[in-house]
Amino acid sequence: MPIYHKLGKIPHKRHIQFRKENGDLYYEQLFGTIGFDGMSTNMYHEYRPTMVKEIKGQYSVAPKIAKANNIQSYRLRGFNVAPQDDFLESRKIVLTNSDCHIVLAAPRKSTTDYFYKNTDSDEVIFIHKGTGKLRTMLGNLDFKYGDYLVIPRGMIYKIDFDTEDNRLFIVESHRPVYTPKQYRNWFGQLLEHSPFCERDIRRPEELETYCEKGEFLIKIKKKDEIFDMIYASHPFDVVGYDGYNYPYAFSIHDFEPITGRIHLPPPIHQTFETDAFVICSFVPRLYDYHPQSIPAPYNHSNIDADEVLYYVDGDFMSRNDIEAGHISLHPAGIPHGPHPGAAERSIGKKETLELAVMVDTFKPLMVTEEAMKIADDKYFQSWLEQTFPTLPNEGLLKIETKIITKILFTLNRNSPLGLGAKLWQKK
């Protein structure tokens, strides 16, 4: 995030002596991305951040691919992912490419026995169910339903949940995550027409500092493997920092929708971006106000991107038979649009109460084995018009006879052979 932030104690200049009360030096660390060219933060530690006692082992968490080249639309029933106690074990990669993992998780327990660091990816964690506190080496953030937690790669963190009923939608991005450049000026400030501003972004204000030596387990993710490393000092030993690289929170409920006389395209819903995908927020809003407007989205071609929609809450006006926690995948190569009847029933409506998160990836997504466990593999047929089967006239007449007879018998519940049925039998 291109917002300067300062927390705790820091010296008046970078890279100079900064001493404790006993005269010992604090240990400075530059925490940055893209070498020395990206956003960075200078932090100051009680102990050297480089002290590793032991590497206990490593194991793979790479996704298992079910369909590497996919053109089929899927619906994934996200709430069918079974809860698990452990935070990392609960994370199930359902869609993936070389730029990102799309993950569902239902963790029951807080991370009490270890710290976690993802060196592969920035993480965007959307809180669908649950409340708690994200604890990091650069400070803490309280979270609740509807929050995005943006955690830069390399950030050491824990996560504390208030209850065991938690549902998370996570995007692990191998590319740095930013606010949309279309809403920033050349200084990085969010513009007046942006759907959110810096005031909506919650930065860490609570810094936990521990001056402790010992043995501290950090699970570090690198190239889809977890390394168990024992550090010799507490990972949360930062006394202060300043810079542009830190975790932050943003609530989907603080996203201010942009509307118009006619239907506007998805980029107006954009919330985050990388050079490989975008994340958009669909929130309650007034519909288009042209007297002949069709509020439902028009059919559009997915030529350059796979589109993923995660349904959070509300009416989901463009879809039939969609519930909270569902994911719909609309792959590149084929068009998609509203379900049959959706456009018609949207006409005349004044507002929508939907909440959804959309991820558009510029490279195709592969479908994993975890996704197939919760997939509706007939979903691609849900855009077909409902038609009667083509039958010979005689066969069709028999079907019509059965239908009408059933209706008449229903209308004559007290007398199945009442007047209506008798008249029909004479014919």
1 pLDDT band, cuts 50/70/90, is: low
* 411 Cβ contact partners less than 8 Å away, ≥ 6 residues apart: 420
HEC assignment per residue over 343-371: HHHHCCCCEECCEEEEEEECCCCEEEHHH
389 pLDDT band, cuts 50/70/90, is: very low
Task: Tell me the C-alpha distance between 290 and 287, whole Å.
Answer: 9
pLDDT of residue 241: 98
Is residue 154 classed as helix, strand or coil in its secondary structure?
A: coil
pLDDT in tens, 100-122: 999 999 999 999 999 999 999 99
Is residue 399 classed as helix, strand or coil in its secondary structure?
A: helix
pLDDT, average across residues 257-283? 94
Q: Is the pLDDT of residue 143 over 50?
A: yes
Q: Is the pLDDT of residue 422 over 80?
A: no
Domains of the chain as residue ranges with CATH: 50-387 (2.60.120.10), 394-426 (no CATH)
User: What's the chain's average pLDDT?
Assistant: 90
How far does CA 7 lie from the centroid of its chain?
Answer: 28
pLDDT of residue 35: 84
Lowest mean pLDDT among 68-82, 155-169, 219-233, 387-401: 387-401
315 pLDDT band, cuts 50/70/90, is: confident
Q: Which residues of 164-197 are buried (b: 16+ CB within 10 A; e: fewer)?
A: eebbbbbbbbebbbbbbeebeeeebebeeebbbe
Taking CA 263 as the corner, what is the angle to CA 257 and CA 269, rounded to the nearest 5 degrees? 35
Is residue 52 classed as helix, strand or coil in its secondary structure?
A: strand
- Tell me the CB-side half-sphere exposure of residue 46, using CA atoms within 13 A: 16
Of 277, 282, 283, nearest in space to 332 by CA: 277
Of 153, 164, 170, nearest in space to 91 by CA: 170
Which element (helix H / strand E) includes 410? helix 393-411
Task: Tell me the C-alpha distance between 281 and 276, whole Å.
Answer: 17
Distances (CA, A) of 176 to 34, 92, 362: 9, 22, 15
Q: Is the pLDDT of residue 410 over 50?
A: no
418 pLDDT band, cuts 50/70/90, is: very low
Write down the pTM of the prediction.
Answer: 0.89
Contact between residue 92 and residue 105 where contact means Cβ atoms under 8 Å apart: yes
318 pLDDT band, cuts 50/70/90, is: confident
Task: Tell me the C-alpha distance between 326 and 412, whole Å.
Answer: 43
Contact between residue 95 and residue 119 where contact means Cβ atoms under 8 Å apart: no
Task: Tell me the C-alpha distance between 387 and 381, whole Å.
Answer: 13
Could you tell me which residue, 322 or 10, shows the higher pLDDT? 10
Task: Tell me the C-alpha distance between 321 and 101, whole Å.
Answer: 26
224 pLDDT band, cuts 50/70/90, is: very high
CB burial of residue 261 (10 Å; 0-12, 13-18, 19+): exposed
Q: Is 388 left (phi over 0), alpha (psi -120 to 50) or beta?
A: beta
Task: Tell me the C-alpha distance between 413 and 208, whole Å.
Answer: 73
Q: Is the pLDDT of residue 412 over 90?
A: no
Q: Is the pLDDT of residue 402 over 70?
A: no
pLDDT, average across residues 375-402? 64
Which element (helix H / strand E) includes 397? helix 393-411
pLDDT, average across residues 1-5? 82
Lowest mean pLDDT among 41-55, 348-362, 380-394: 380-394
Q: Is the pLDDT of residue 259 over 80?
A: yes
Q: What percent of the chain has pLDDT over 90?
A: 83
pLDDT, average across residues 218-238? 98
* 25 Cβ contact partners less than 8 Å away, ≥ 6 residues apart: 17, 18, 19
394 pLDDT band, cuts 50/70/90, is: very low
